Chains A and B, each alone.
Chain A
Amino acid sequence: MNPALRDVLVFLQSWWVELVSGVVIVAVVPLVAGYLVLMERKLMADMQARLGPMRVGPHGLLQPIADAVKLLIKEDIIPDNADKMVFWMAPVVSMTAALTAMGGIAFGPAFLVARDINVGLLFVIGVSSLGLLGIVLGGWASNSHYSIMGALRSTAQLVSYETAAGLALVSGLLLAGTLRIRDIVHAQEQSGVWFVFLVPVAFFIYVVASIAETNRAPFDLPEAESELVAGYMTEYSGFRWALYFLGEYANMIVVGAVATTLFLGGWLRPFPNVHWMNWLDALPALFTAAVGAYCVFRAGKQPARVQVWFMWGVALACFAVALILGVPVLPLQVVAPLKFMVPGLHGAFWFLLKISAYIYLFMWLRFTLPRYRFDQLMHLGWYILIPLAIVNVLAAGVAMILETEYGWNRWLALVVTTLFTLGVALFLLRLNDKRAAAASSAAPPPEEPSTEDSYAG
Chain B
Amino acid sequence: MGPQHPSTHGVLRVKLKLDGERVRGTECVIGYLHRGVEKIAENRTYQQFAPYVDRMDYVAAVSNGLGYCEAVEKLLNVEAPPRAKVIRTIMTELQRIASHLIWLGTHALDIGALTPLFYCLREREEILKIFEKYCGARLTTHAFRIGGLQYEAYDSFEKDVERFCKDFERRIQEYVDLLTGNSIWIGRTRNVGVLSAGDCIALGASGPVLRASGVKWDLRKAQPYAAYDLYKFEIPVGTNGDTYDRYMVRMEEMRQSRLICLQAIENIPAGPILGKVGKVLKPPAGEIYHSIEAPKGILGYYIVSDGTTQPYRVRIRPPSFINLQALDKMARGHLVADVVAIIGTLDIVLGEVDR
**Contact between A227 and B7 (Cβ–Cβ < 8 Å)?**
yes
**Contact between A49 and B112 (Cβ–Cβ < 8 Å)?**
no
**Contact between A440 and B6 (Cβ–Cβ < 8 Å)?**
no
Contact code string A391-412 (vs B, CB < 8 Å = 1, else 0): 0000000000000000000000
**Contact between A368 and B115 (Cβ–Cβ < 8 Å)?**
yes
Would you give the shortest CB distance from A72 to chain B, in whole angstroms? 25
Across the interface, name the chain B residue whose C-beta is closest to A217: B112
**Which B residues lie within 8 Å of A229 (CB)?**
5-6
Which listed residue, B15, B112, B115, B338, touches A455 by the CB 8 Å rule? Answer: B15
Quick one: which of A409-457 are within 8 Å of B by CB?
Answer: 436, 440, 444-445, 447-448, 450, 454-455
A366 to B338: give the CA distance in the assembly, Å: 20
Quick one: which of B74-112 are within 8 Å of A by CB?
Answer: 108-112
Quick one: which of B171-191 are within 8 Å of A by CB?
Answer: 178-179, 182, 184-185, 187-188, 190-191
**Contact between B122 and A372 (Cβ–Cβ < 8 Å)?**
no
A149 to B16: give the CA distance in the assembly, Å: 14
Q: Does A44 contact B (CB under 8 A)?
A: yes
Would you give the shortest CB distance from A216 to chain B, in whole angstroms? 11
**Contact between B332 and A374 (Cβ–Cβ < 8 Å)?**
no
- Chain B interface residue count, CB cutoff 8 Å, equals 38
Across the interface, name the chain B residue whose C-beta is closest to A228: B336
A436 to B186: give the CA distance in the assembly, Å: 12
Contact code string B281-304 (vs A, CB < 8 Å = 1, else 0): 000000000000000000000000
A334 to B113: give the CA distance in the assembly, Å: 56
**Which A residues lie within 8 Å of B113 (CB)?**
368-371
Would you give the shortest CB distance from B6 to chain A, in whole angstroms? 5
Knowing A48-B114, A370-B188, A450-B25, the reply to whether A444 touches B119 (Cβ < 8 A) is: no
Q: Does A224 contact B (CB under 8 A)?
A: yes
**Which B residues lie within 8 Å of A220 (CB)?**
112
Across the interface, name the chain B residue whose C-beta is closest to A44: B114
Q: Does B139 contact A (CB under 8 A)?
A: no
Knowing A47-B115, A50-B118, the reply to whether A373 touches B25 (Cβ < 8 A) is: no
Q: Does A225 contact B (CB under 8 A)?
A: yes
**Which A residues lie within 8 Å of B109 (CB)?**
226
**Contact between B112 and A226 (Cβ–Cβ < 8 Å)?**
yes
**Contact between A374 and B333 (Cβ–Cβ < 8 Å)?**
no
Which listed residue, B110, B114, B122, B333, touches A367 by the CB 8 Å rule? Answer: B114
**Which A residues lie within 8 Å of B17 (CB)?**
454-455
Knowing A48-B119, A49-B122, A444-B333, the reply to whether A369 touches B21 (Cβ < 8 A) is: no
Would you give the shortest CB distance from B213 to chain A, in whole angstroms? 14
Q: Does B340 contact A (CB under 8 A)?
A: yes
Across the interface, name the chain A residue whose C-beta is closest to B106: A226
Q: Does A14 contact B (CB under 8 A)?
A: no
**Contact between B179 and A370 (Cβ–Cβ < 8 Å)?**
yes
Contact code string B160-203 (vs A, CB < 8 Å = 1, else 0): 00000000000000000011001011011011001000000000
A454 to B333: give the CA distance in the assembly, Å: 15
**Which A residues lie within 8 Å of B184 (CB)?**
218, 369-372, 376
Q: Does B13 contact A (CB under 8 A)?
A: no
**Which B residues lie within 8 Å of A436 (CB)?**
187
A215 to B231: give the CA distance in the assembly, Å: 50
Q: Does B337 contact A (CB under 8 A)?
A: yes
Which listed residue, A374, A440, A454, touches B335 by the CB 8 Å rule? Answer: A374
Which listed residue, A44, A49, A375, A448, touches B119 by the CB 8 Å rule? Answer: A49
**Which B residues lie within 8 Å of A368 (CB)?**
113, 115, 178
**Contact between B188 and A372 (Cβ–Cβ < 8 Å)?**
yes
**Which A residues lie within 8 Å of B190 (CB)?**
440
**Which B residues lie within 8 Å of A374 (CB)?**
21, 335, 337
**Which B residues lie within 8 Å of A373 (CB)?**
187-188, 335, 337-338
List the count of A-B residue pairs having beta carbons below 8 Å apart: 96
Q: Does B220 contact A (CB under 8 A)?
A: no
Would you give the shortest CB distance from A382 to chain B, in whole angstroms? 16
Quick one: which of B225-249 are within 8 Å of A by CB?
Answer: none
**Which B residues lie within 8 Å of A50 (CB)?**
118
Knowing A48-B118, A50-B118, A226-B112, the reply to whether A370 touches B332 (Cβ < 8 A) is: no
Would you give the shortest CB distance from B169 to chain A, in whole angstroms? 18
Would you give the shortest CB distance from B122 to chain A, in whole angstroms? 6
Q: Is the interface of A mostly helix, strand, loop or mixed?
A: loop
**Which A residues lie within 8 Å of B152 (CB)?**
none
A44 to B117: give the CA distance in the assembly, Å: 12
Contact code string A147-172 (vs B, CB < 8 Å = 1, else 0): 00100000000000000000000000
Would you give the shortest CB distance from A225 to chain B, in whole angstroms? 5
Would you give the shortest CB distance from A186 to chain B, in whole angstroms? 40
Which listed residue, A47, A48, A370, A440, touches B191 by the CB 8 Å rule? Answer: A440
* A225, A227, A371, A372 interface centre (most CB from chain B within 10 Å): A227
**Which A residues lie within 8 Å of B194 (CB)?**
444
A173 to B256: give the CA distance in the assembly, Å: 57
A249 to B13: give the CA distance in the assembly, Å: 34
Would you give the shortest CB distance from A428 to chain B, in whole angstroms? 14
Knowing A49-B119, A225-B7, A373-B187, the reply to whether A454 touches B112 (Cβ < 8 A) is: no
**Contact between A445 and B335 (Cβ–Cβ < 8 Å)?**
no
Which listed residue, B178, B332, B336, touches A227 by the CB 8 Å rule? Answer: B336
**Which A residues lie within 8 Å of B5 (CB)?**
229
Would you give the shortest CB distance from B53 to chain A, in whole angstroms? 30
Quick one: which of A189-241 are within 8 Å of B by CB?
Answer: 217-218, 220-221, 224-227, 229
**Which A residues lie within 8 Å of B187 (CB)?**
372-373, 376, 436
A370 to B115: give the CA distance in the assembly, Å: 9
A221 to B337: give the CA distance in the assembly, Å: 9
**Contact between B335 and A224 (Cβ–Cβ < 8 Å)?**
no
A368 to B119: give the CA distance in the assembly, Å: 12
**Which A residues lie within 8 Å of B313 (CB)?**
none
Q: Does B24 contact A (CB under 8 A)?
A: yes
Would you give the shortest CB distance from A437 to chain B, in whole angstroms? 10
Would you give the shortest CB distance from A222 to chain B, in whole angstroms? 12
Would you give the shortest CB distance from B328 to chain A, in whole angstroms? 11
**Contact between A447 and B332 (Cβ–Cβ < 8 Å)?**
yes
A373 to B17: give the CA distance in the assembly, Å: 19
**Which A residues lie within 8 Å of B108 (CB)?**
370
Quick one: which of B1-57 are within 8 Å of A by CB?
Answer: 5-7, 15, 17, 21, 24-25, 27
Would you give the shortest CB distance from A305 to chain B, in whole angstroms? 33
List of 6 A-B pairs having minimum Cβ-Cβ separation, nearest first: A371-B112, A445-B333, A226-B7, A48-B118, A370-B113, A226-B110
User: Can you offer 9 A-B residue contacts whose CB atoms are under 8 A?
Assistant: A44-B114, A50-B118, A226-B6, A229-B5, A229-B6, A370-B182, A370-B185, A375-B335, A455-B25
Binding site for B on A (CB under 8 A): 44, 47-50, 149, 217-218, 220-221, 224-227, 229, 366-376, 436, 440, 444-445, 447-448, 450, 454-455
- Extra 13 A-B pairs, beta carbons < 8 Å, given A226-B7, A226-B112: A44-B114, A47-B115, A50-B118, A218-B184, A224-B337, A227-B336, A227-B337, A227-B340, A369-B113, A371-B111, A373-B335, A373-B337, A448-B332
Binding site for A on B (CB under 8 A): 5-7, 15, 17, 21, 24-25, 27, 108-115, 117-119, 122, 178-179, 182, 184-185, 187-188, 190-191, 194, 332-333, 335-338, 340
